[in-house]
Chain A
Amino acid sequence: MSTSKKNIAVIGDSSSVLCFKAVGLSVFPADTAEDVNNALQKVYKEKYAIVFITEQLKPLISDAMAGLLANSLISLVLIPGSKGSLGIGMAQLSEIVNKAVGVNIEKEEKA
């Protein structure tokens, strides 16, 4: 088992990420697609293990970057931004479950 020291990064609009700075995370304010992908590039190359990114920025991540991160051990986690939750994080989770299980479990649970 190998261990290594890594950091945590937060990417989001400046008002959302400001507070994370104080609790010891590395902060990358980003608003445009270019900012987001540059920040992710940096996160991918340097020693980061977890990236929290606000849901608002999720559509701006390029496919290539998403693929790179998915194949690495870096976990990309969606968090709600300061403008509230869009429910994308939950929806993404359900999608993963649907793909893996092949059926929508939640519907069955409700029925």
Chain B
Amino acid sequence: MRLNVNPTRMELLNLKKRIKIAVRGHKLLKDKQDELMRRFLELIKDVKELRLKVEKSLNDVFRKFACLSSIMSEESLEEALAMPAKVINLNIEKSHVMNLTVPKYETKVEGDIMCYGYGDTSGDLDLALYQLDTILQDMITLAQKEKTIELLAAEIIRTRRRVNALEYILIPNLEETIKYIGMRLSEMERSNLARLMKLKDIIRKH
């Protein structure tokens, strides 16, 4: 579609400037998109593996807990876990991927998971809790990577829209308008020349 501008030399110059910027922007955005995609694909494989691993171990832990609740009464299980001694503090650092801010978690652990007496609890509880404790780090890494992936995906979609808008709408429109103005100007020049020649003829006859 041609832009709605006057076919003047000044507009032509302006449009030429604009198309230069648009092409440059398009190249930059395209590069950004490629880089985002590269990082995204790199991460996605990791995350899938990690998620499978975490889901598998969590299911394992839940199964152990289900077995436990058949050995121990629900009250004594709740009682044993009622006062956790372990505290996890999460340090968040913000790191940057391209223009995105992604979280980076670092854990600081205080205390031990053993917060109950050994007397009235089953030994399986210790094992289940130890297993849960070991997958916790994986879960936190998973959280970090999944958030990064979500943010990256949103940015990729946004960037792709921009790249496409430039590539298929703005740049072709500008090109078409520049061509139109150029043709219009040369046509005016030709008609002017023809008029001048005609005038010259008329004057010479007199």
Contacts A18-B78, A73-B101, A75-B146 known; A97 to B44 CB distance under 8 Å? yes
Cα A101 to Cα B34 in complex, Å, equals 11
Binds B, one of A37-45, A56-64, A80-88: A80-88
Name the A residues within 8 Å of B58 (CB-CB).
Answer: 79-80
B55 pairs with A2, CB closer than 8 A: no
Cα A68 to Cα B44 in complex, Å, equals 24
A22 pairs with B115, CB closer than 8 A: yes
Name the A residues within 8 Å of B89 (CB-CB).
Answer: 5-7
B48 pairs with A90, CB closer than 8 A: yes
A22 pairs with B144, CB closer than 8 A: no
CB distance from A68 to the nearest CB of B (A): 14
Whether B203 sits at the interface, judged by CB under 8 Å, is: no
A4 pairs with B139, CB closer than 8 A: no
A24 pairs with B90, CB closer than 8 A: no
For chain B, the count of residues having a C-beta within 8 Å of the partner chain is 58
Q: Which of B55, B77, B152 contacts A18 (CB 8 A)?
A: B77
CB distance from A93 to the nearest CB of B (A): 6
Name the A residues within 8 Å of B143 (CB-CB).
Answer: 50, 52, 75, 77
Q: Which of A4, A23, A96 contacts B86 (CB 8 A)?
A: A23
Cα A24 to Cα B89 in complex, Å, equals 9
0 or 1 for each of A80-109: is its CB under 8 Å from B? (1 = yes): 111011000110010011011110010000
A19 pairs with B109, CB closer than 8 A: no
0 or 1 for each of A1-21: is its CB under 8 Å from B? (1 = yes): 111111110000001101111
Cα A21 to Cα B79 in complex, Å, equals 12
Whether B66 sits at the interface, judged by CB under 8 Å, is: yes
Given contacts A7-B90, A21-B82, A99-B157, 17 further A-B contacts (CB under 8 A): A2-B94, A5-B89, A6-B91, A7-B88, A19-B65, A21-B84, A23-B84, A23-B129, A24-B87, A25-B88, A73-B94, A77-B139, A80-B55, A80-B62, A90-B51, A93-B44, A100-B152
Binding site for A on B (CB under 8 A): 37, 40-41, 44, 47-48, 51-52, 54-55, 58-59, 61-62, 65-66, 69, 77-78, 81-82, 84, 86-95, 101, 103, 105, 109, 111, 113, 115, 128-129, 132-133, 136, 139-140, 142-144, 146-147, 149-150, 152-153, 156-157, 160
Binding site for B on A (CB under 8 A): 1-8, 15-16, 18-25, 49-50, 52, 70, 73, 75, 77, 79-82, 84-85, 89-90, 93, 96-97, 99-102, 105
